[in-house]
Amino acid sequence: MFESIDQVIDQLREQQYICDRRLATVIFLALKMQKPVLIEGPAGVGKTELAKVVALALNRQMIRLQCYEGLDEARALYEWEYSKQLLYTQILREKIGRTLEHVTDLREAVAQIRHHEDAFFSEHFIVRRPILQALLAPEPVVLLIDEIDRAEEQFEAFLLEVLSDFQVSIPELGTIKATAPPAVVITSNNTRELSDALKRRCLHLTIGYPGEARELEIVRLKVPEISETLAQQVVEVIRRVRALDLRKAPSISETLDWARALILLNAESLTPELVEETLQLILKYDRDVQKVTRELPKLLGGSGADSQHHHDHDHHHHHDAGMQAALERQREHTADYFSSYRGNTRS
């Protein structure tokens, strides 16, 4: 268990996850208050990763439930193992006969059988799906409910009981309560609005794209073999690409992929040709690639040669820093909100 917010930051850093205070505060509170965390943000900013590293840092098992369209309680909570039940009835036929050997009338037989009824509706015959697994684990675990916005609204309703009381009601068995309440992390890519009831039960956290310094730190940590100049150039170009009006802006995961690819290509610094050749790595849509290619000279201006770099530095100073930051935040905020654009792709 984390004892303080600083400890959260430190321990996550040990697991190679850089987080700011805001994020650490929410994680700390969630664990202390035993409440689920709902993380929203664009794809690839480390939402899922966060659950993984929390599990690692706490030395807990992580149980993951990937949501998809059509996910139902039989896949998420539990399912009766009917074939096993049937098999057991067959095998035990003789045994049942013997139990009823001395019984004279039907009424008595029914009474006899009733005694043994619960043998067939016991936990023994239940297939434990991720949520039940998490509840029944002897040690507390981290339960990751990934991309909940992919599942239907009805699915959220199944989750409510689990999230508020860490229990599941199975009609035949009664209520199963968690032996050790799991830490629950729910992620959403914000493709649709989640219900208020779900939101109310969770602590809410929005992760956006990281600031320049933090992104640089992440690149250095995750791709340790990268040279300082290249890291800086990569982060700078990525930030400028994000500022463009794109269908899918590159996230941290794309930054890291790109950095790793550049290392494989033995690049020491970015050149326009190199960027153009590797653009496919950070952009997922053809239209975006075309747009960025057009803007390429502007994007690379100031990050190519050292002399230019100097110029860029000055450029930044001219701006009012506070204003710049505010505008940037505003832009990121709106860009983050509806993260994935699905209009044309899924009609």
* Residues of the shown chain interacting with another protein in the complex, contacts defined by CB under 8 A: 5, 21-22, 25-26, 28-29, 32-33, 35, 38, 40, 69-70, 72, 79-80, 82-83, 85-86, 89-90, 120, 149, 152-153, 190-193, 196, 199-200, 202-206, 245, 247, 322-323, 326-327, 330, 333-338, 340-344, 346-347
Our CB check for another protein shows the closer of 261 and 289 to be 289
CB 153 within 8 A of CB 75: no
- Strand partners of residue 128: 78
Q: Residue 274 Cβ, how far from another protein at the closest point, in Å?
A: 29
Q: Give start and end residues of each alpha helix (H) in 244-338.
A: 252-264, 272-282, 286-300, 306-318, 321-337
Residue whose CB is less far from another protein, 5 or 274: 5
Nearer to another protein, 5 or 296 (CB): 5
Give exposure, 132-148, as e/b (b: 16+ Cβ within 10 Å): bbbbbbeebbbbbbbbb
Q: Tell me the closest approach of the beta carbon of residue 32 to another protein, in angstroms.
A: 5
d(CA 266, CA 238): 19
Which residues fall within 8 angstroms of residue 289, CB to CB, at 6 or more apart? 279, 280, 283
Of 138 and 322, which has the nearer Cβ to another protein? 322
Beta strand 62-66 with 167-170 is: unpaired
CB of 333 to another protein, least distance (A): 8
CA–CA separation, 338 vs 193, rounded Å? Answer: 10
User: Which is nearest to 130 in space by CA: 74, 195, 54?
Assistant: 74
Smallest distance from another protein to CB 153, Å: 8
As measured in angstroms, the least distance from the Cβ of 183 to another protein is: 15
Whichever of 79 and 276 has its CB closer to another protein, that residue is 79
